[in-house]
A = this chain, B = another copy of it.
């Protein structure tokens, strides 16, 4: 075990551009991957929550990873969202993503049902024992069964293939406790935060990076924040964090998550298309105004 494989930087949980018909728009997804890499994301994270993994079929999820890995072509690492309907299907996805060259996978805790800590442990333990590819635990308590401190510690102790956690709770004391509990025995473990509004303090407290939806719309900004934070330019970092938060809040509030981020991506010039969630007449009526507000905000940031 070395620390060589630690993740570092901002991974983009990319949305998937869609055709008018609702199909995956492969050409535009490839263009978006290029666009993100050119603008400085440190890695890609397809099939995350921002990537709406639950709204694609199992086949589509595989195709998305294949396209992204192929297009990234080794320029940046790819963390592939691999959660499927059950343990067997998830392990099969891990095997596939290992074969096609993903860097690692991220697996969200079981959702819909609220599992006990012990069941969450058993789920990841089973995967950890059978995966041929490194696994990142994905903790997002607002959507899925929480992964608690003791569960992370047990998995870190028992599963060499479990190498990281991505936490979207934004709970800083929890993250600090996690790092303190796990790092001594597993210096190879990475800690990533998924809550953009506290990216800076998370980095200052020891996180290796983040998987941040804002990086899909403003990769220049999140890159700069990461660099200021890691080079000790705290004053500048604080200012950029406030801008990131303002943008994140606006994108988060623009529509039901993650549709605001899809809208933001389209305002950057990517033909992201409409999401797969139907919109009511009332919702459609309000979209022009929302789009205008986001446009103004992006313009203020010099991102139009």
Binding site for B on A (CB under 8 A): 22, 49, 54-58, 85-89, 110-116, 118-119, 121-123, 125-126, 142-144, 170, 172-173, 176-177, 180, 195, 197-198, 200-201, 204-206, 234, 238, 241-242, 245, 256-258, 276-280, 282-283
Contacts and interface: CB of A to CB of B under 8 A. Distances in A.
A279 B54 contact: no
Given A58-B58, A143-B113, A118 B280 contact: yes
A86 B256 contact: no
Nearest to A56: B85
A159 to B, nearest CB: 13
Contacts of A113: 49, 54, 143, 256-258
A238 B179 CA distance: 11
A201 B205 contact: yes
Contact of A198 (B118, B173, B195, B257): B173
Number of copies: 4
A195 B173 contact: yes
B119 A173 contact: no
A177 B196 CA distance: 13
Contacts of A278: 87, 119, 122-123, 125-126
A172 B201 contact: yes
A87 B279 CA distance: 11
Given A113-B143, A283-B119, A85 B173 contact: no
Contacts of A144: 112
B176 A283 contact: no
Contacts of A204: 201, 204, 234
A282 B121 CA distance: 11
Nearest to A108: B112
- 6 nearest CB pairs, A to B: A173-B197, A201-B201, A126-B278, A122-B280, A122-B278, A86-B276
